[in-house]
Amino acid sequence: MTETIASAEWTERPGLAELIAALEGKARFVGGAVRDTLLGLSVKDIDIATPLLPEDVMDRLAAVSIKTVPTGIAHGTVTAVLPEGPVEITTLRRDVSTDGRRATVAFSDDWKEDAARRDFTINALSADPGTLQIFDYFGGLDDLENLHIRFIGSAAERIAEDYLRIMRYFRFLARFGQQQIDEEAFAACTAAAAKLETLSRERVADELLKLLATEDPRFAIGQMLDARIFRHIVEDVDPDAGERINRLVEREQRYQLEPVAIRRLVALLPKEADKASHIAKSLKLSRKQQRAIGERLLGAQEFHVSEAATGLADIRGFAYRTSVDSARDAALLFADDTALPKLLDALDGWQPPVFPLTGGDLIERGLKPGPLVAKTLAKIETAWIAQGFPDEEWIRKFIKEQALTRQP
């Protein structure tokens, strides 16, 4: 593998050269930008490390009119605001103490010492902004070439510094490692899995969703299920979770659909809405995410898609009551192979119509204001959905036939 990132377009972003010059050569590109460039992947975020203290960094950048934000100054991080996106600049650090959840750090001027506190060898690579040559202290280039996800030094020690690294291992395995398990890493992750319960649910949920958002997490998730690691992440995993996630990802790939983390999370959760809701709340998911899970699980109860439910009204009615995304996901999760293509076709390019009737319309037709208006409106809307969203003429006939505006 090449030992330079000379062809990287992101190194030419506006303002970056001025930023580097202000740091007077006391800086290196680090982390994902270096790793992903070597893999031929696009780079969004740029991270820089420096032996300079945060206050010095801010002063130097202010002198060349580069705005900075003290996003994590206590931990040595400031953010420079450049035209094409922020750049995080972090002072070199060493760990003073760790408790598996957070580290107490001290600033350093030792590049290798800073690299040693990272998790995996492929994430410890750095590059000189001037020459674009790579610095590799722990064999990360070889591991990257072989797509080998390996902890720096002792896997058990790295995990004990931050137990979230268990989940990060499987996320990086899913993203880069294909199906190549590092035996030491896997054993250490399995041995320490119970410690995941000591972490904040927000951190765990964030890492879980990142894992599920990878292009193909099937192998990594299968390893976690087999090692019973998931029981320390969610308290009640569906017994058929492995089979369900495998089928879902296969369908996503067959129909060329982008990965959706929440959709895949539903495949791991119990089908019972109350159990899934409890887990979603325990993971501290947002209300929007919790609602999305609930809507998709309606597909297992209210709209369990089978050969008997393949009509346009069925799937479009479900989409009208929830959303097109929820209906599509429910079909992917719960439809049988015969129904699925018809259901996806029914949703392709379709937008839910607006119900062309209001309570005011019913009152104009003679219904007195009160609870009966809402009840009647709901009855008409239900029939309208079941008929496949016909036009206003159908609604007028339906009202007349049912005598719905006649007072009791």
- Does the residue 176 lie in any domain? no
Is the domain of 69 the same as that of 47? yes
> Are both 63 and 113 inside the same structural domain?
yes
Q: Which domain holds residue 94?
A: 1-141
pLDDT at 244 (0 to 100): 96
What CA–CA distance (Å, rounded) separates 73 from 79?
9
Domain assignment present for residue 74? The answer is yes
Cβ atoms of residues 270 and 204 within 8 Å:
no
Residues 323 and 377 in one domain: no
Per-residue pLDDT of the chain (408 residues; tens, 9 = 90+): 668 898 789 999 999 999 999 999 899 999 999 999 999 999 999 999 999 999 999 999 999 999 999 998 888 999 999 999 999 999 999 877 666 566 677 899 999 999 999 999 999 999 999 999 999 999 999 999 999 999 999 999 999 999 999 999 999 999 997 778 999 999 999 999 999 999 999 999 999 999 999 999 999 999 999 999 999 999 889 889 999 999 999 999 999 999 999 999 999 999 998 999 999 999 999 999 999 999 999 887 655 544 445 556 688 999 999 999 999 999 999 988 888 999 999 999 999 999 999 999 888 888 888 898 899 999 999 999 999 999 999 998 888 887 665 555
Q: Does residue 34 sit in the same domain as residue 105? A: yes
Co-location of 20 and 62 in the same domain: yes
User: What's the predicted TM-score (pTM) here?
Assistant: 0.89
Number of domains in the chain: 3
- Average confidence score pLDDT of the chain: 91
Whether residues 112 and 45 share a domain: the answer is yes
Distance CA 300, CA 306 (A): 11
Q: Are residues 85 and 121 in the same domain?
A: yes
Instruction: Kindly report, residue by residue over 39-51, the tens digit of the pLDDT.
Output: 999 999 999 999 9
What does the DSSP assignment read for 174-191? IIIITT---HHHHHHHHH
What's 127's DSSP letter? E
Position 264 in a domain: no
Tell me 359's DSSP state. Answer: H
Q: Both 131 and 106 in a single domain?
A: yes
- From 94, 121, 141, the end of a domain falls on 141
Is residue 126, in this structure, part of any structural domain at all? yes
The answer to whether 71 touches 42, Cβ cutoff 8 Å, is no
What pLDDT is stored for residue 307 in this prediction? 45
Last residue of a domain, one of 141, 164, 183: 141
d(CA 63, CA 60): 5
